[in-house]
Amino acid sequence: MNVLKAGYASVNINPPLGMGIEGYYVPRYGKGFLDDIEASAIALSMGEEKIVMISIDLCGVDTDILQRYCATIEKETGISKDKIFLSATHSHTSGMIKPTQFFEAPVEPVAPYADFVEKRLCDLVTLAFQDVKPAKMGYIVGWAPERVAYIRRYKMKDGSTMTCPPIDDPNIDYPIGTLDQRVNVVRFDREGACSIVLVNYGLHADTVNGELFSADWPGVMRRTVEKALDGTKCIFLNGAEGDVGSTNIHPKDGDMNDTEISFDNEMKSPGMARFVGRALAGTVLQVYDKVKYVDVDKITMLHKIVRIPANVPSPEDMPRARLYKELHDAGRDDEIPYTAMELTTVVAEALRMVKMEHGPYHYDLDLVGVALGPVALVGIPGEPFTAIGEGIKEAEGWGMIMPCSLTNGNEGYFPVQSAYDEGGYEARTSPYKAGVAETLIEGGKAILGELKK
């Protein structure tokens, strides 16, 4: 009889000071650390099957670098590159492993840091498989508390749509969309070794701001869980977070405690990261002891390619796009007639248009499915809206389904159809045509069906 075995490891991947910080369209350079930047992994084996799930504190890992990393891991560890599930937490205060198109950053540290991360990931996978022990698995769904997450797209009273509008703007009408407050928790109890808890929830890791490196709230959540649960290690995989942030646009009572409003109208500070991380750790602690233990008869990882038409700009859009890009590249954003998040939107849209003026005309995206007995994960190589995660979760025959964003790729936003009709930051900057959400839901359900066979 094949026995489920699980192993865990974590490594430090702190970048050098002075490196550009990824996540915004304005220059930031690392001046210190709030907390460590890390990568962690769960290694799983059953009989001849071996898979590894990696969580890394980066804003994202682009597909070209992802492929390079997976090939190196396969060469150095013997784990097939097709059995690697690598998911970024989406920290907006992490280091760069690739030069950004958004602002000029010192290039010299980037390539060596990318090489360093590559080596550390090989170490991580090696250590995780060295740690494998017989394990039993349980799962449960918790519920996120209030004030942690909010839909960040709003319909305005003037009929427009805005992502992250100004706090208490009288023009705000209502949020567009609904939250998925389910916190997925999977627990592995191992013979003679620490337990491992995997947490999945969809929320932007963008609550810190500033020029200090940080794992943002996922780091706080992991450390809080591990401190509270002696002998337990925690790993986090971000969910469908494309349209979800942590800012309450109508703050009241103590909502502004230990936080401030950033340049892009959002509530951000180290204190905000502590609040969100501790609150979600509280959800994990509430349900941790009540998981449903299940028999795991097999573990499987599959890939499925879906083709998405590209959002190629029209010729009449290009003069303004080139102008905004030139002004932004010259550090003259003040000459672009927008401010705050609207400025971010038009700059990002212009960069997208200039980059895609001559194609590509479609994208092939790699969806990754994992089956752990009755529990399934669907890795999506970018930032899906909440509704995409909810649509995939409707697949029948599973005890739990975990959509995971920024997994095996970092290919931009995946908005729903209505977002293209309404406008807003995500849809205007997405490299994909409307219909991407429906294609991803269909592809996610299809790979779940294949995992059932």
Query: Do the Cβ atoms of 168 and 261 come closer than 8 Å?
Result: no
SS3 content of the chain, % helix, strand, coil (to 5): 30, 30, 40
Mean pLDDT of 41-50: 97
Q: How many H helices and E strands in the chain? A: 10, 24
DSSP string, 300-347: EEEEEEEEEEB-PPPGGGHHHHHHHHHHHHTT-GGGSS--HHHHHHHH
- Give the pLDDT score at 23: 86
Query: CB-side exposure of 405: number of CA atoms within 13 Å?
Result: 33
Mean pLDDT of the chain: 95
Cα–Cα dist 82/303, whole Å: 8
Residue corresponding to tokens 């502590």: 274
pLDDT at position 423, please?
85
For the record, the structure tokens of 421 come out as: 């009709």
Q: Where are the domains of the chain?
A: 5-302+364-452, 313-358
Residue found under tokens 């280091």:
95
Question: Distance between CA atoms of 424 and 324, rounded to whole angstroms?
Answer: 17
Quote the CA–CA distance of 416 and 438 in Å, as a whole number.
Answer: 8
- 397: pLDDT strictly greater than 60: yes
Residues 351-374: what's their mean pLDDT?
96
% pLDDT > 90, the chain: 90
- Residue 108: per-residue pLDDT: 66
Q: List Cβ neighbours of 6 (8 Å cut-off, separation of 6 or more).
A: 42, 43, 44, 132, 133, 135, 137, 188, 190, 196
- The pLDDT, as a whole number, for residue 20 is 87
Structure tokens at 4: 């489920």
Q: How does residue 341 score in pLDDT terms, banded at 50, 70 and 90?
A: confident
Average the pLDDT over each of 59-73, 221-235, 274-288, 423-437 and give the range with the smallest value: 423-437
Q: Would you say residue 248 has pLDDT above 90?
A: yes
The tens digit of pLDDT for each residue in 69-124 reads 999 999 999 999 999 999 999 999 999 998 875 555 555 689 999 999 999 999 99
**Lookup: tokens for 387:** 């509704």
If 0-12 CB within 10 Å is exposed, 13-18 middle and 19+ buried, where does residue 191 land?
exposed
pLDDT, mean of residues 9-13: 98
Q: What is the pLDDT of residue 101?
A: 59
Q: Tell me the angle at which helices 318-329 and 340-355 cross, rounded to the nearest 10 degrees.
A: 110
Q: Which amino acid is at 108?
A: E
DSSP state, 22? B
